[in-house]
């Protein structure tokens, strides 16, 4: 392969609803670019993109696959993404390296859930978007309905460049109003003939051309003036207007396609090359807000956007050359670790097919192997420059489950396999929660996790069980209480003696220090001599006050007293959960001249703390999440009543293009498998995000239940 200059590279994300035909289009683009000489099909499990066993079994894409093709002296890098939102991670990382989106819409269904969801992602990332109306050869293809649905969801931005002559079975022609030509396809291999537009289609073509001129003119003042003065634009002016409007995201050109019959694919690729921005059009904004130009004359900077483990090869690192040029054998440095890396080989990648190249210019995308230390989101730079780029921000997890090996002996193997997965797929996280004594696995949805389970079962031969995870409750107090405890052991051998009197009160952020208390109707004034403040590993605070007067306890025993309290906070008196947000005042006690030692004071303070805690209006707290749900207006009622059953507090509602945006606070305990329920309530049309908000007290009926469950558990132990 020749070396492509930055100006001759285009980077694209292929997206669209499930089964809209992305993988089939990818195959046809590879064929048109002569990267392959025969087209495979999804049904025959022979496509370049869906090349893994699990994808072939399900006949759908699960991974985002980097591909490239060569066309009109340009290199088109593109990523075929899965149509299910559960696998959105690969699309998010593709946005980071691509500057244009091609959204496929199935002409049999028009706009679907995926079209809406992915359209929102493209808008969030400010990526210009082309619509490809695909499957126009299918019996139920309906152009008018599809365009109506596009206009409903995407409004005025929808700009038709073409219309099909004969959609449905036998589809072989479309009219292109930019070229003012009709294209007829004479076989299923993209062989096209160009015709003048037939007289009976001329009115339709002129009407469409006029609207396209109008939207093109809107992109620039000079064009608008020309359009008003003369009443029309030349083709060059229209292309310029489309180019500008497209880059600004104010118009989305629409193309006719049959990916399966190779109709319209070449024309789409021509448009991408002529109108989609070259990588140099986008300045990379660095974390310090300075910029890096995508320029082959700059210093070499690579950004690793994905890594994957492959049999026989080890770790493959997928990168984009953000600046400069990359040469085989070049030595680079990871500025975050200082580690040196040699680029032993550079490959252009089309799925599993890799072509070795000797160099790559700024803006190009490829992969390399045998890097020792570089992870996703890191950079490699020419020695002497240190660019660290904005990381890809992956969506928060939406599905949380506990996992364990069915056979205990597989636990270690399971841990290794899960760690490898989460390194490859950053939308999967695995953590052993010491507090819960469970391994917690998080992902984007039940399907996402089930695919992982399939791998564990079939590739790693580990039987696993997925089950509801425990909740990390916390314990705290709501009022002041005192307790004292004497630890004494004086029968035989060395004795033990320690007595601690303490007072506890709730810690409230920002509340002033206090030394007067009323406990059981009795006024107490403490003499505060020292204060220590601790932030607990599990959140919340402990403030520890030394109020000992008259040397009733030696200062040397204070650390042991603190330790006793800390230990009890690790295993709260109510349910064994971590305790938080407490002030402890140690104000009196007793020592024994011979028998007092650290262990005695630790035990005394532990028990005094436990007793005080029980009398201080103890409460269980639970994690509460801030949940934002985007739901189609007609499903609103069902989603609301389901939320009410989940103890949710609705905090806000707003409307946006036929969707309602609901904001709610929902306890984590009520969110198990929420993604699955929401999907079934809305036929997959809703999306949601969830983020930890705070700990809040559980209602008393829930507290009763939790206490009872803990007591049962204790009894069993």
Ligand X SMILES: Nc1nc2c(ncn2[C@@H]2O[C@H](COP(=O)(O)OP(=O)(O)OP(=O)(O)O)[C@@H](O)[C@H]2O)c(=O)[nH]1
Query: Binding residues for ligand X, per CB under 6 A?
Result: 16, 18-24, 41-43, 60-61, 82-83, 134-135, 137-138, 258-260
Minimum Å gap between C-beta 24 and Mg ion is 8
**Burial class (CB within 10 angstroms; exposed 0-12, middle 13-18, buried 19+) of 385:** middle
The helix/strand/coil state of 179 is coil
Shortest Å distance, C-beta 422 to ligand X: 23
Smallest separation (angstroms) from Mg ion to the CB of 447: 15
Instruction: Convert residues 50-79 into a mask of x (bound to Mg ion by CB under 5 A) and - (unbound).
Output: -----------x------------------
Residue 253 binding result from Mg ion, ligand X, none, given CB thresholds of 5 to 8 Å by partner type:
none
Q: Spell 397-426 as b/e; 16+ CB within 10 A means b.
A: bbbbbbbebeeeebeeebeebbeebbbbbb
**What does 137 bind: Mg ion, ligand X, none (CB cut-off 5 to 8 Å by kind)?**
ligand X
Tell me how far, at minimum, the Cβ of 681 lies from ligand X, in Å.
22
Shortest separation between residue 235's beta carbon and ligand X, angstroms? 28
CB closer to Mg ion, 23 vs 146:
23
Residue by residue, DSSP assigns 242-257 as HHHHHHTTS-EEEEE-
Cβ closest to Mg ion, residue 22 vs residue 400 = 22
Q: How far is the CB of 614 from ligand X (least distance, A)?
A: 57
129: β partners? 101
For 644, the 3-state DSSP assignment is helix
| List 6, 17, 20, 23, residue binding Mg ion (CB under 5 A) | 23
* DSSP codes joined into one string, 364-381: -EEEEE--SS--TT-EEE
Q: Which is nearer to ligand X, 19 or 474 (CB)?
A: 19
Burial of 683 (0-12, 13-18, 19+ CB in 10 A): exposed
**Least CB distance to Mg ion at residue 80 (A):** 6
Whole-number Å distance between alpha carbons of 632 and 578: 40
Least CB distance to ligand X at residue 678 (A)? 20
Q: Which is nearer to ligand X, 308 or 707 (CB)?
A: 308
In the complex, the smallest distance separating the C-beta of residue 22 from Mg ion, rounded to whole angstroms, is: 5
Q: How far is CA 540 from CA 480, 529, 698, in A?
A: 18, 23, 17
The structure tokens listed for 83 are: 């149509």
Q: Which range touches Mg ion (CB under 5 A), out of 20-28, 289-297, 301-309, 599-607?
A: 20-28
State the DSSP code for 461. -
Contacted entry of Mg ion, ligand X, none for residue 90, CB cut-off 5 to 8 Å set by kind: none
CB of 58 to ligand X, least distance (A): 8
Q: Rounded to an integer, what distance in angstroms lies between the CA atom of residue 397 and that of residue 691?
A: 9
Q: Which pair of structure tokens corresponds to residue 565?
A: 């309290």
> 260 contacts which partner out of ligand X, Mg ion, none, CB within 5 to 8 A by kind?
ligand X
Strand partners, 650: 664
Q: Which is nearer to ligand X, 47 or 546 (CB)?
A: 47
- Identify which of residues 28 and 439 has a Cβ nearer to ligand X in the complex: 28
Rounded to 5 degrees, what angle do the CA atoms 481, 483, 485 make?
Answer: 165
CB of 262 to ligand X, least distance (A): 9
Q: Which does 43 bind (CB under 5 to 8 A by kind): Mg ion, ligand X, none?
A: ligand X
User: In a 3-state reduction of DSSP, which class is residue 210?
Assistant: helix
* Chain position carrying tokens 């590879």: 30
| Beta carbon nearer to ligand X, 188 or 598 | 188
Q: Of 16 and 589, which has the nearer Cβ to ligand X?
A: 16
**C-beta closer to ligand X: residue 43 or 408:** 43
Asked if residues 90 and 109 have their Cβ atoms less than 8 Å apart, the reply is: no
Closest CA to 471 of 592, 621, 617, 582: 621
Q: Which is nearer to ligand X, 137 or 284 (CB)?
A: 137
What does R_g of the chain's alpha carbons equal in angstroms?
A: 32
Non-local (6+) Cβ contacts of 700 within 8 A are: none
Between 33 and 132, name the residue whose CB sits nearer to ligand X. Answer: 132
What are the DSSP calls for 1-67, one per residue? -PPPPGGGEEEEEEEESTTSSHHHHHHHHHHHTTS-SS---TTTT--SSS-SHHHHHHTS--S-EEE
**Distance set, CA 276 to CA 180, 243, 245 (Å):** 21, 7, 11
- Residue nearer to ligand X on the CB measure, 83 or 363: 83
Between 23 and 476, name the residue whose CB sits nearer to Mg ion: 23
CB 50, min distance to Mg ion, A: 6
Region of 15-23, 377-385, 597-605, 667-675 interacting with Mg ion (CB under 5 A)? 15-23
Tell me whether residue 22 or residue 320 sits nearer to ligand X (CB atom).
22
Distance in Å, CB of 204 to ligand X, minimum: 23
**Among 330, 343, 277, 278, residue whose Cα is nearest residue 304:** 343
* Segment holding 7, helix H or strand E: none
Strand partners, 516: 525
Angle formed by the axes of helices 446-458 and 411-424, to 10°?
130
State which residue has the least CB distance to ligand X: 83
Positive or negative, the CA dihedral 23, 28, 34, 40 is positive
The option from Mg ion, ligand X, none interacting with 377 (CB < 5 to 8 A, set by class) reads none
By CB under 5 A, tell whether 47 contacts Mg ion: no
CB 326 → ligand X: shortest distance, Å?
31
Q: Which is nearer to Mg ion, 62 or 442 (CB)?
A: 62
Shortest approach of ligand X to residue 15 CB, angstroms? 9
- # binding residues, Mg ion (CB under 5 A): 3
Give residue for tokens 């270690």. Answer: 412
Measured from the CB atom, the residue of 135 and 600 that comes closer to Mg ion is 135
Residue closer to ligand X, measured from CB, 6 or 20 = 20
108 contributes a contact to Mg ion by CB under 5 A: no
Whose tokens are 């996703």? That residue is: 376
Q: How far is the CB of 60 from Mg ion (least distance, A)?
A: 6
Q: How close are the terminal C-alpha atoms of the chain, in Å?
A: 68
Q: Residue 2 in contact with residue 70, Cβ under 8 Å?
A: no
Task: Count CB neighbours of 394 within 10 A.
Answer: 18
The binder of 204, among Mg ion, ligand X, none, by C-beta within 5 to 8 A per type, is none
Closest CA to 286 of 296, 297, 301: 301
Query: Residue written as tokens 């396809």?
Result: 185
Smallest distance, Å, CB 67 to ligand X? Answer: 12
21 binds, among ligand X, Mg ion, none (CB under 5 to 8 A by kind): ligand X
Is the distance from CB of 477 to CB of 613 less than 8 angstroms? yes
Q: Is 190 left (phi over 0), alpha (psi -120 to 50) or beta?
A: left
Q: Which stretch binds Mg ion (CB under 5 A): 19-27, 152-160, 488-496, 675-683?
A: 19-27
Q: How far is CA 610 from the centre of its chain?
A: 42
Q: Tell me how crowded residue 466 is: count the other CB atoms within 10 A of its CB.
A: 15
Residues that bind Mg ion (CB under 5 A): 22-23, 61
């Amino acid at each position: 392969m020749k070396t492509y200059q930055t100006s001759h590279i285009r980077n694209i994300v292929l997206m669209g609803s499930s089964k809209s035909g992305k993988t089939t289009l990818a195959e046809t683009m590879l064929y048109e670019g002569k990267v392959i000489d025969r087209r495979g099909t999804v049904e025959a499990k022979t496509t370049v993109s869906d090349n893994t066993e699990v994808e072939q079994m399900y006949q759908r894409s699960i991974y985002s696959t980097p591909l490239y093709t060569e066309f009109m002296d340009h290199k088109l890098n593109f990523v075929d993404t899965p149509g299910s939102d559960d696998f959105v991670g690969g699309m998010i990382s593709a946005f980071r390296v691509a500057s244009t989106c091609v959204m496929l819409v199935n002409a049999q269904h028009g706009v679907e859930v995926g079209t809406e969801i992915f359209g929102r992602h493209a808008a969030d990332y400010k990526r210009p978007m082309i619509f490809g109306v695909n499957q126009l050869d299918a019996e139920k293809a309906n152009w008018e309905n599809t365009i109506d649905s596009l206009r409903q969801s995407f409004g005025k931005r929808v700009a038709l460049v073409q219309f099909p002559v004969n959609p449905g079975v036998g589809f072989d022609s479309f009219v292109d109003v930019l070229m003012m030509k009709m294209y007829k396809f004479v076989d299923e291999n993209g062989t096209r003939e160009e015709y003048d537009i037939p007289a009976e289609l001329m009115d339709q073509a002129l009407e469409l051309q006029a609207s396209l001129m109008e939207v093109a003119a809107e992109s620039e003042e000079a064009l608008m003036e020309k359009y008003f003065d003369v009443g029309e634009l030349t083709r060059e002016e229209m292309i310029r207007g489309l180019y500008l409007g497209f880059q600004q995201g104010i118009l989305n050109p629409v193309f006719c396609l049959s990916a399966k019959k190779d109709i319209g694919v070449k024309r789409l690729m021509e448009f991408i090359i002529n109108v989609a921005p070259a990588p140099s059009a986008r300045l990379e904004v660095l974390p310090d807000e300075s910029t890096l130009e995508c320029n082959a004359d700059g210093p070499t900077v690579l950004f690793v956007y994905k890594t994957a483990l492959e049999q026989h090869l080890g770790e493959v690192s997928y990168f984009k050359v953000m600046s400069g040029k990359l040469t085989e054998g070049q030595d680079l440095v990871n500025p975050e670790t200082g580690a040196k890396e040699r680029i032993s080989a550079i490959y252009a990648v089309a799925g599993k097919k890799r072509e070795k190249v000797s160099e790559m210019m700024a803006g190009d995308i490829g992969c390399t192997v045998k890097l020792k230390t570089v992870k996703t989101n890191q950079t490699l730079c020419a020695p002497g420059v240190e660019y660290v780029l904005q990381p890809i921000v992956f969506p928060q997890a939406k599905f949380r489950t506990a996992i364990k090996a069915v056979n205990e002996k597989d636990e270690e193997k399971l841990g290794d396999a899960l760690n490898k997965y989460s390194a490859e797929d950053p939308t999967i996280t695995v953590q052993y929660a010491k507090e819960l004594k469970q391994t917690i696995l998080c992902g984007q949805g039940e399907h996402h996790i089930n695919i992982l389970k399939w791998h564990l079962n079939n590739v790693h031969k580990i039987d696993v069980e997925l089950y509801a995870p425990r909740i990390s409750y916390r314990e705290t107090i709501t009022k002041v209480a005192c307790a004292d405890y004497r630890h004494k052991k004086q029968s035989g051998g060395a004795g033990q003696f320690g007595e601690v009197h303490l007072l506890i009160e709730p810690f409230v952020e920002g509340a002033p220090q206090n030394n007067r208390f009323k406990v059981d109707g009795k006024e107490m004034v403490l003499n505060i001599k020292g204060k220590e403040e601790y932030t607990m590993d599990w959140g919340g605070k402990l403030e520890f006050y030394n109020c000992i007067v008259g040397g009733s306890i030696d200062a040397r025993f204070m650390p042991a007293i603190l330790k006793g309290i800390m230990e009890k906070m690790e295993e709260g008196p109510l349910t064994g959960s971590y305790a938080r947000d407490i002030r402890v005042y140690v104000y009196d006690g007793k020592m024994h001249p011979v028998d007092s030692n650290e262990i005695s004071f630790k035990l005394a303070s532990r028990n005094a703390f436990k007793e005080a805690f029980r009398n201080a209006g103890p409460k269980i707290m639970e994690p509460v999440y801030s949940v934002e749900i985007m739901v189609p207006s007609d499903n609103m009622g069902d989603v609301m009543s389901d939320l009410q059953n989940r103890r949710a507090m609705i905090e806000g509602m707003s409307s946006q293009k036929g969707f309602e945006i609901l904001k709610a606070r929902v306890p984590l305990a009520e969110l198990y498998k929420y993604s699955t329920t929401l999907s079934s309530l809305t036929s997959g049309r809703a999306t949601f995000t969830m983020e930890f908000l705070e700990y809040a007290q559980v209602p008393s009926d829930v507290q009763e239940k939790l206490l009872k469950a803990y007591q049962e558990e204790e009894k069993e132990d």
